[in-house]
Amino acid sequence: MSDENKFLELNSAQREAVEATEGPLLVLAGAGAGKTKTITYRILNLIQKGVAPENILAVTFTNKATKEMQERISKLLEENKAINRPVSVVGKPFVATFHGLGAYIIKENFREAGVKKYFSIYDREDSKRLVKEALVKNNYDPKQFEPGKILAIISREKGNSVSVEEYSEFASGEYFGGIVSKVWQDYEIALKKENALDFDDLLLVSAKLLQKEEIRRAYSEKWKYIHIDEYQDTNKVQYQIAEAIARDHQNICAVGDVDQNIYTWRNASIKNILGFEKDYKNSKLVVLEENYRSTKTILEIANRIIEKNKLRMERKLITKNAVGEKVGIFEALTENHEAQFVVEKVKELNKNGVPFSEIAVLYRANFQSRVLEEEFLTKDVPYQVLGTRFFERKEIKDILAFLRFCLNPESISDLKRIINVPPRGIGKTTLLKIVEGKEESLPMGMKLKMNNFRNLLRQIKNFALQNPPSKTILFIAQEVSEGATLGKNAPKVAPWGKGEEGQERLENIKELAVLASRYDKLSPEEGVEKLLEDTSLASDQDSDKKEKDGVRLMTVHAAKGLEFTYVFITGLEEGLFPHDKDMDENVSEEEAEEERRLFYVAVTRAKKKLFLSYAQTRTIFGSRGSNIPSEFILEIPDEFLEREFLDYTPKRKPLLHIEF
């Protein structure tokens, strides 16, 4: 490819970004606007202008993105031989994730980092092991204080550039904060002893190394041209790393999309991209508005939705693609009716030649997958769930194990599962004695714990034999929660967890109660037995249905960065999407707008056709409530919508095959 026509594949905005090689550059790249192509061509242009490849840095967020960028750069360099200097094997642009970049910096400065040359990088499982050992060392029961939850707190604080010493100062006066502080201190000692760093250390330690002027200057000179992908997802530490390297030459190219910032709960700070022009004086702004993915209709809807947000940088997605089909809108009577519509429409698309893998079904919360999974299984349509399938989720297994053990106290596996839900401090030795029928030999304190446990089981059994199964599920969830404590005089904490994760688990339990309501017309005992039998069969069937060429089922969060020819967005009801957690008066403007960004991300996954659906009624807590359509639907002009219809004739035999 000659120098004159090397950029013919680019549009004017992409070309502008590619040719703006000197000084700070912010590239606002809308969904499907070709940001990876822009970055790779910019790197090619730098090399053709005489910049040494080894002086170029590109940072991504995932290994997949890193590999894709490396391959694209290699291909472009191979195709474009007419460059000012030869590209040797050594002389290549450095392309890595933030964690890969951190590991590289630490390896080159291992003495200053306080580690030996050949240090280990511990993954999450390795880290959980050390946290568990630290808990035991401090006489805390790992079953009572979950290592994963404590590790999540440590990870969050490290992402905010907080050291263990700093955390201890402001958290040690709190009950749980004091526990985390002690465990974290011993966790760090263990890491040092084992000459290891965790994933968060790769960022935190490298950021601290870059605070040393000599080291910072060395990397600023090494990488004179920096590219940061998905800049809207950077946290405080990642921002610090990028700024330190870019400080001297100011040749930083930040590529991102304010409207796709949906990870604030992971410490991603939208302020980093919104404040770029203030942080880097004399910066240039290039907006990539041309979308190569979706139809004009889909983009028009996306634009109308997102323009209502205030925390954004003004732009509008455009495309030369066809107008395309109108967006299908389906008003379901119930969540089951909605699932039936989705599956029937999927079957129709597949019959017309669309591969199942080109179809995605998106939802706001994980619990929504249950009804959809059941319908796909019943109609024998292959599917894949990105994430954990409904019956594989811990809280679902726990609730069902309580129910099974009450009816079948011989089930040792169920006993092992629930005996420390909530945490009771019952160890393996005690459990072995219980299984062997030697409970009388236990110390008095342990006998008391077991007595409380058996009382709980008795209450559950008595309730289950006198009440409908749906109420029993909720009763178990409530009783188990009320029995959870962090220790003497400590506040009660539900075993389902707190925050976003805890809310999601509770929603899944509610969905299990909805499923159980199918058996409420039977006698309590028959209903429970049938529920346990059918959920076991459903779970087994679920595990056999993991086809590669299947419809993709996933949350909107999981869909970020993906695209599909046909996309269904389900559960578009007020309180569900947007989620009612954002109706809290105390939430920030940033938090309130994230739901709208989520919907924007969902809409822009679709290439050819988008389907939106909502249910007039949805069963929650065993009772059916009326819904109103999501505000997102109401904001779409009728001219872009076409009604979808499905005869609601419940002829099918459900997966959980009870006859009413």
DSSP 546: B
229 is catalytic: yes
Radius of gyration of the chain, Cα coordinates, nearest whole angstrom? 28
User: How far does CA 108 lie from the centroid of its chain?
Assistant: 32
All residues at 6 or more sequence positions from 589 whose CB lies less than 8 Å from its CB, including other chains: 310, 311
501 half-sphere exposure, CB direction, 13 A CA radius: 13
Residues 6+ apart with CB under 8 A from 275: none
Q: How far is CA 11 from the centre of its chain?
A: 33
Catalytic residue among 6, 15, 35, 530: 35
**Euclidean distance between CA atoms 509 and 505, whole angstroms:** 6
Q: Are strands 383-385 and 551-555 parallel, antiparallel or unpaired?
A: parallel
Q: What does residue 506 show for φ and ψ, rounded to 5 degrees?
A: -65, -40
The catalytic position among 158, 389, 471, 605 is: 605
- The CA-atom distances, in angstroms, between 607 and each of 322, 335, 562 are 11, 26, 11
Catalytic residue among 21, 36, 185, 503: 36
605 is catalytic: yes
Check if 36 is active-site: yes
3-state class (DSSP) for residue 142: coil
Contacts of 572 (CB under 8 A, 6+ apart): 612, 613, 614, 629, 630, 632, 633
Q: How many helices (H) and strands (E) does the chain have?
A: 27, 17
Distance CA 26, CA 29 (A): 9
Collapsing DSSP to helix, strand or coil, 16 comes out as helix
User: Catalytic: which of 230, 300, 374, 395?
Assistant: 230
| Residue 237 buriedness (CB in 10 A; 0-12 / 13-18 / 19+) | buried
| Residue 532 and residue 400 in contact, taking contact as beta carbons nearer than 8 Å | yes
CB 542 within 8 A of CB 377: yes
- Catalytic pick from 260, 297, 319, 472? 260
Strands 623-626 vs 617-620: parallel, antiparallel or unpaired = antiparallel
Phi/psi for 31 (5° steps) reads -55, 130
State the catalytic residue, choosing from 186, 229, 290, 573: 229
CA distances from 101 to 105, 237, 241, 458, 460 (A): 6, 13, 9, 56, 53
Catalytic positions are 35-36, 229-230, 260, 605
